Amino acid sequence: MLALLAEGCSHKSRQPEPLKSTATGAAIVESSGGKQIGYVGMPLDQPVVVQVNDANGGGVAGAGVYFSGPAGVTFTPAAALTDSSGQVTTTVSLGQQSGRYKLVASTRDASGKNVPVAVEEIALGYQQTVGAQLHAQYCIRCHDPESTPQRVSNMDNLAVKPHPFTEGDTLNKMSDADLVAIISHGGAALNKSPLMPPWGYTLSKSDIAALISYIRAVADPPYQAGGLVYAQK
């Protein structure tokens, strides 16, 4: 994952034709489209929207915005002038590796200095996709506080609140083995809330591994796998 981020800095996608900016801003901010969960090689559901502001925080029209990202990421368009509200909208397709993608949108201020803003997106690979599907079938109703008309969240009905899968602060501290145990045997067996049922007799081992890979993929802050530990020579 770190390597991916590093790659983001080295493999800038080809700089597009310079834009004829008619104005410059002082700052650039993300309006929407960050922290989306997409799939490798696929366009994100929502476009990424950034806004160029002047020193007072008002939108600047006609400022040039350039997008760049790690290898494999494509932007349509990769560069554009801000509209009348100071915003630029671009559709993003993620690259072929699963993991986090750090995208950068930048504009130039009055002195010609580059002002960037980073937007992070997540690409799910095969295993995480399986996990996402299982999550949607078995877990989301309790573990996601968001309700939609099609899917009412059950979280508020529970005396002990489940951890949303994005809750990295808590879940990152648990090892894969911990998570396997809780998912398989339920909360009660591990002295936690019995509201979490055991899924080990319903889901297969590979299903549970897929779920964990999904949990790791969407954790916020990001999950850092423990590296290999070898005995000193």
Partner 1 sequence: MTNRLNKIWKFFFGDSARAFGSASVILLVLLAIAPAKNHFSQWHRYQKQYLHLIGGRADAITLARHYQGGIQQIWIPEQQVTDRCPTCHLGIKEATLTDVSAVAFRKHPVIPHSLTEFGCTTCHRGQGAATTVQEAHHATEQWEQPLLPAKYIEAGCGQCHLEKLTGTPFLNQGRDLIASNGCTHCHTIKRPDGTLIPPDDDPPSLAHIADKTSREWVFAWIKDPQAYATTATMPNYQLSDDDARDISAFLMAQGTPLQPPLEPLKVSAAPPDPAAGTTLYGQSFCASCHAMQNAAGMMVGGNLGPELTGIGTKAKPEWLQDWVANPNHYDPKTMMPHYRFDEKQVATLVAFLESKTEPDFLANVHLDAATPQQVERGKRLVLENGCASCHEINGIKKPENFAPELSRIGSKPLSQLIFVEGMNHTLPDYVVAKVSNPRAFGPSLKMPQFKLTPQQVDAITTALLAQTDRAFTQPPTMRIASVQQAKYEPAGHAGQLMHDLRCFSCHMINGHGGDMAPDLTYEGTAVQRDWLVQFLKNPETLRPALIRRMPKFNLSDAEINTLTDYMLTVYQTPDFDRDSFPASELTAAQTDQGRQLFYSKFACQSCHIADFKNDKGYIGPALAGTGKRFNAAWVYHWLKDPQALRPGTTEPNQHMTDEEARSLTAFLMSLKSGGAKETAKK
Q: Which residues bind partner 1 (CB under 8 A)?
A: 1-4, 6-7, 39-43, 45, 72, 91, 93, 95-98, 125-127, 129-130, 133-134, 137-138, 141-142, 149-152, 154, 157-158, 186, 188, 193-202, 206, 209-210, 213, 227-228, 230
The tokens describing 191, both together, are 């002295």
Q: How far is the CB of 1 from partner 1 (least distance, A)?
A: 7
| Number of neighbouring beta carbons within 10 Å of residue 223 | 17
Q: Which is nearer to partner 1, 40 or 219 (CB)?
A: 40
Q: Is 227 helix (H, G, I), strand (E, B) or coil?
A: coil
Q: Which is nearer to partner 1, 28 or 203 (CB)?
A: 203
Q: Could you give phi then psi for residue 92, rounded to 5 degrees?
A: -120, 130
Q: How far is the CB of 29 from partner 1 (least distance, A)?
A: 27
- Rounded to an integer, what distance in angstroms lies between the CA atom of residue 102 and that of residue 11? 12
Q: Which is nearer to partner 1, 91 or 172 (CB)?
A: 91
- On the question of a cis peptide bond just before residue 149, with omega within 30 degrees of 0, the verdict is no
Q: How far is the CB of 190 from partner 1 (least distance, A)?
A: 14
Q: Which is nearer to partner 1, 81 or 207 (CB)?
A: 207
Q: How far is the CB of 128 from partner 1 (least distance, A)?
A: 9
For residue 77, the 8-state DSSP code is: S
Q: How far is the CB of 58 from partner 1 (least distance, A)?
A: 29
The dihedral sign for the CA sequence 175, 179, 184, 186: positive
Which residue in 186, 207, 192 sits closest to 160, CA to CA?
192
Could you tell me how many residues make up the chain? 233
Q: How far is the CB of 147 from partner 1 (least distance, A)?
A: 9
Q: Which is nearer to partner 1, 115 or 165 (CB)?
A: 165
Q: Which is nearer to partner 1, 22 or 206 (CB)?
A: 206
Residues 168-201 as b/e (b if ≥16 CB within 10 A, e otherwise) read beebbebeeeebbbbbbbbbeeeeeeebbebbbe
Q: Which is nearer to partner 1, 196 or 218 (CB)?
A: 196
- Rounded to an integer, what distance in angstroms lies between the CA atom of residue 172 and that of residue 219? 7
